[in-house]
Amino acid sequence: MAETLGDPPARVAALNNLALVLCESQGDRHREAALHNTLSDILHTSGRPEAAMAHLKQAVATFADIGQEAGAMQPEIWKLVEW
């Protein structure tokens, strides 16, 4: 629908949401957090600060959980690279 309407930000948000659902269904918490962070940026740029903050908080919470699951601090958890 976003593509039909010629609304690039809406298209990006829709694709991001699709990727988020796929990450959640696969249990990929790292990419899930990164996608929440990206969606936060999109919403912030679109003038929706409350929604942006909600996704930013979700990203931070998810990244923090990943570090807790490992049992030790992992500052590199924020990097989007294979380790």
User: What CATH number was assigned to the domain covering residues 2-70?
Assistant: 1.25.40
Pairwise pLDDT comparison (70 vs 31), residue with the higher score: 31
Residue 11 confidence (pLDDT) above 60? yes
User: pTM for this structure?
Assistant: 0.69
* CA dist., res. 66 & res. 35, Å (int): 15
Residue 78 confidence (pLDDT) above 80? no
Question: Cα torsion for 49, 53, 59, 63, to the nearest 10°?
Answer: 140
In tens, the pLDDT along 13-64 reads 788 888 989 988 998 888 899 889 988 998 899 899 999 999 999 999 988 8
Place 66 in a pLDDT band, splitting at 50, 70 and 90.
Answer: confident
